[in-house]
Each structure stands twice: as C-alpha cells, then as structure tokens.
Amino acid sequence: MQPLPHHYAVSVTAAPEGKLSTTGHDVPELLTSPPPQFGGEGGDWSPEDLLLAATANCLALSFRAIARASRLEWVSLQCATEGTLDKEERTIKFTSMTSRVKLVLPAGVDIEKGKRLLQKAEDSCLVSNTLNCPVHLEMDVQTEG
C-alpha cells in the first residue's frame, strides 16, 4: 500500500435528460441513471447501486488483504449488500445496510478464524467506516465438502 493520504477523482458529465457519463483515471466510462424508484427507466447503474457495490467490494477486498496477511487459506467469498433508503428528519438517506457474506474455506481450516477475519475486514472497511448509517454483517462461514 502506498503511504496515506490517497487522492481519488472522478468526473460526471450530465445533460438535462438521459444517462450520465462517469469517468476516472485509467478506468472505462460508466453510464449511470436514476433507479426506477426515482423515476428512472432502470437497466443502468445508479448512485444507490454504486454505493452498495462500493461497500461490498471494499469488504471483499479488505478481507482478501487481511486473510493474506493472516495466512488464511480460503476458496471463495460472496458478498450481497442491501440498503434501506428512507426519510429521516426530513432528509432522504440510507438508514441501514446489511452485508451477507458467504465464505468457503478449504476442509480443515478453522471456521472461527474465518469469522474473526471477516469481522476484522468489516471493522477496517474504509467505505462502511465513512457511511453515516449502521452497517451490519451477517456471516455464513463453511468448509468445502
């Protein structure tokens, strides 16, 4: 990891109607639009989807780094993150998020160590640490076979 602070930048181009173009350094263009809940047609990534995706990706990448440093062998990880958007004190915002993680370990690997490292990944996830809503973690850790 490079020394902190890290700096990131994206650019969004919008017109009065239609999709937005999101670009960043050395990444493909990403087209976004409002979700159906906000009058969009659907079929595109929305800001709400991207926030949940960032949370799930951060948790998975944090776990990968922590598992590597802790020498934990693992086979696969699936992370499904759901969020609730609601009105609270006259402001629409995410009021909670839940990440449901299924971690598969090779036979004979300590399941409790997998759970501890998943919790450590959640505790160190920079995206969920930045959010202003409770983020919950539900774990299903099992071994192959």
Model confidence pLDDT, tens digit, residues 115-138: 999 999 999 999 999 999 989 999
- Is 15 domain-assigned? no
- Other beta carbons within 10 angstroms of residue 62's beta carbon come to 21
Each residue's pLDDT tens digit, 77-103: 999 999 999 999 999 999 999 999 999
- Is 103 domain-assigned? yes
81 contacts 92 by C-beta, under 8 angstroms: no
Q: How far apart are CA 33 and CA 53, in angstroms?
A: 15
- Is 22 domain-assigned? no
- Is 2 domain-assigned? no
Q: 80 vs 37, 45, 63, 103, 138, CA distance in Å? A: 20, 16, 14, 12, 10
